[in-house]
Amino acid sequence: MIILDGKKTANDIKEEIALEVTSIVSSGGKVPHLSAILVGTDGASETYVNAKVKACEKVGFKSTLIRLSEDVSQEDLLAEVEKINKNSDIDGLIVQLPLPSHVDEMKVTEAIDPEKDVDGFHPSNIGRMVLNLPTYLPATPAGILELLKRYNVETSGKHCVVIGRSHIVGSPMSILMGRNTNPGNCTVTLTHSRTKNLQEITKTADILIVALGRVEFITSDMLKDGVCIIDVGITRVKSDKTKSGWKLLGDVDFENVKHMCSFITPVPGGVGPMTIAMLLKNTLLSSKK
Ligand code: NAD
C-alpha cells in the first residue's frame, strides 16, 4: 500500500511555483495576485481562506482578503466582484463557499470574470473542461489528477467510481476521469444519494473517489483488493485530544481499509493540500496570461 502524500506533493508544487515567481519577478515581471472574498465568520471557511492566504505568502504571491459581513446584500457582493474583475493588478478571484442562503451562489459564480476564475467554477470554464480545451480546472479535481499523475497511478481502462455529484468535486471529477487524457481514459460510474446498491458498484472499483462528507462511510466490505482510494471528504469533529479542540476526518475508514489498497490518500494531508496548490497554479497561469 502506498500513501498518496498530498502534503508532500503540494509542498513540491509550491516550491516549483515559488521558483517560477522568483524568476518572473527578477526579470521584471508581475507578482501574481490572488484575491479572496469571505462572507461571514464560519469557522471552517475561515480556516480554508486563511490557509489559501498563507500559501500565497509562501510562494511569493500577493493576496488580498476581503471580508464581508454575513448579512451583506447580493447586490453589494456582486459589486465587490465587479470591482475585482476590473482591477488589472488582480489575477485570480475566489469567493469562499458556501455563501449565506440569501445569496444566489450561481449568480456570484457567473459574475466572476472567467479569466480570473481560478477556482474553475464558472460555467464557461466548466464547458471548456468538458470539451478538453485549455482552462482553469476546478482546484480539487485538478489536485486529484496531479496526485495520480505524480504517483504514476495507472488509470487507462480502469473502472473509476465517483461518490458524490457536487459541482465542485464529484461531477467534474467524473468528467475528467473519462476524458481521453492521462490521467483519464477510465470507465466512469458516478454515484449519488439516489444510487441503488452502492456496495455492489464500489466493489467493482479500481479507483474510488469519495466526496460525500460522511465520516468513515467507506468500509472494507465495500471494496475489492488493490483498489486506489481518493478520500476527498473533510469533516470537522470535536476532539479533546487536539490543541484546537477539533480534528478532521475523511469519508473512508482509513485504518480498517488501508491493507486492501494499492494507493490511498490520508485525511488530513491528502486531497486538501493539493486543492490549495492547484489554486496557486491556476493563479500563476492567469498572471502569466
Ligand atoms: P456536497 O456536500 O455538495 O454533496 C454531497 C454529495 O454526496 C451529493 O452529491 C450526494 O448526492 C452524495 N451523497 C450523499 N449521501 C450519499 C450516499 N448515501 N451515497 C452516495 N452518495 C451520497 O459535496 P462536496 O461539496 O463535494 O463535499 C463532499 C465532501 O468533500 C465534504 O466533506 C467536503 O468538506 C469535502 N471537500 C473537500 C475538499 C478538499 O479540498 N479536500 C474540497 C471540497 C469538498
CA of 19 to the centre of ligand 1 (A): 34
- Type of residue numbered 53: V
195 lines ligand 1 (CB under 6 A): yes
Q: Which CATH class is domain 141-272?
A: alpha beta
8 C-alpha vs ligand 1 centroid, how far in Å?
A: 24
Query: Residue 117 phi/psi, 5° resolution?
Result: -80, 70
For ligand 1, whether the C-beta of 45 sits within 6 Å is no
Superfamily for domain range 29-114 = Leucine Dehydrogenase, chain A, domain 1 (3.40.50.10860)
Q: What is the CA radius of gyration of the chain?
A: 19
Please check whether the two domains, 29-114 and 141-272, share a CATH topology: yes
Q: What are phi and psi of 53, to 5 degrees?
A: -65, -45
pLDDT in tens, the chain (289 residues): 999 999 999 999 999 999 999 999 999 999 999 999 999 988 888 988 999 999 999 999 999 999 999 999 999 999 999 999 999 999 999 999 999 999 999 999 999 999 999 999 999 999 999 999 999 999 999 999 999 999 999 999 999 999 999 999 999 999 999 999 999 999 999 999 999 999 999 999 999 999 999 999 999 999 999 999 999 999 989 999 999 898 999 999 999 999 999 999 999 999 999 999 999 999 999 999 8
Grid coordinates representing 156 are 487507462
Catalytic site residue from 5, 14, 52, 158: 52
Domains in the chain: boundaries? 29-114, 141-272
Active site residue 241: no
199 flagged as catalytic: no
- Report in angstroms the alpha-carbon separations of 37 from 6, 116, 121, 184, 196: 25, 13, 15, 33, 39
Query: Which pLDDT value is given to residue 151?
Result: 98
The 10s digit of each residue's pLDDT in 26-71 is 999 999 999 999 999 888 889 889 999 999 999 999 999 999 999 9
Tell me if 192 CB under 6 Å of ligand 1: yes
Q: How much distance in Å is there from the Cα of 31 to the middle of ligand 1?
A: 35
- 190 close to ligand 1 (CB < 6 Angstrom): no
Q: Distance of CA 287 to CAs 17, 32, 91, 255, Å?
A: 12, 5, 5, 42
- Report the C-alpha gap between 71 and 80 in whole angstroms: 14
Measured in Å, residue 215 CA sits from the centre of ligand 1 at 11
The rounded distance, in Å, linking the Cα atoms of 283 and 101 is 28
54 has catalytic annotation: no
| Ligand 1 close to Cβ of residue 64 (< 6 A) | no
Bridge partner list, 66: 37
| Ligand 1 atom closest to residue 276's alpha carbon, by position in its atom list | 40
pLDDT per position as a tens digit, 233-251: 999 899 999 998 989 999 9
* CB 163 less than 6 A from any atom of ligand 1: yes
C-alpha cell at 180: 481521453
